[in-house]
Amino acid sequence: MHFNVSANLDTPGLARYAVNQLLAGPTVGSDAFVLFPSGTQATVTLDGSLAEVDLHGSLSRSFQSGGTDEAAMFKSLTYTLTALPGVRSVQVLVEGKKVAALPGGAFELDEPLTRGTFSQ
């Protein structure tokens, strides 16, 4: 999907915009599908080359999908953010805390994710 954004946005602004668009999913009538559960929200901050994404909403209480969907969800988040200038890794937080995995999930979240995480 392609989006137009202001040329005046800095990298932290682009990161917040990109994650919000990813969580919102495609427009109606699109052949793409949404990976993140409806109502998922995120706060995004940058610390050097690390993007921290703090997830809130139903996702933080219980993940009810399969392992393939879970991996695809975090791959899309990681690839979206590491496409931005200077961002090399993504640390996922849930309700402000570093967790081993989502409640009900199995994908390891306690270490920062990189594109290399998904090339194995």
Alpha-carbon distance of 89 to 75, in angstroms, equals: 11
Alpha-carbon distance of 77 to 80, in angstroms, equals: 5
CATH number, domain 11-105, options 2.40.50, 3.30.110, 3.30.300, 2.30.110: 3.30.300
Q: CB count, 10 Å around CB of 43? A: 13
Alpha-carbon distance of 63 to 30, in angstroms, equals: 25
Where are the chain's structural domains?
Answer: 11-105
pLDDT (tens digit, 9 = 90+) per residue, 26-49?
766 555 665 788 888 999 999 999
pLDDT (tens digit, 9 = 90+) per residue, 75-115?
999 999 999 999 999 999 999 999 999 888 888 999 999 99
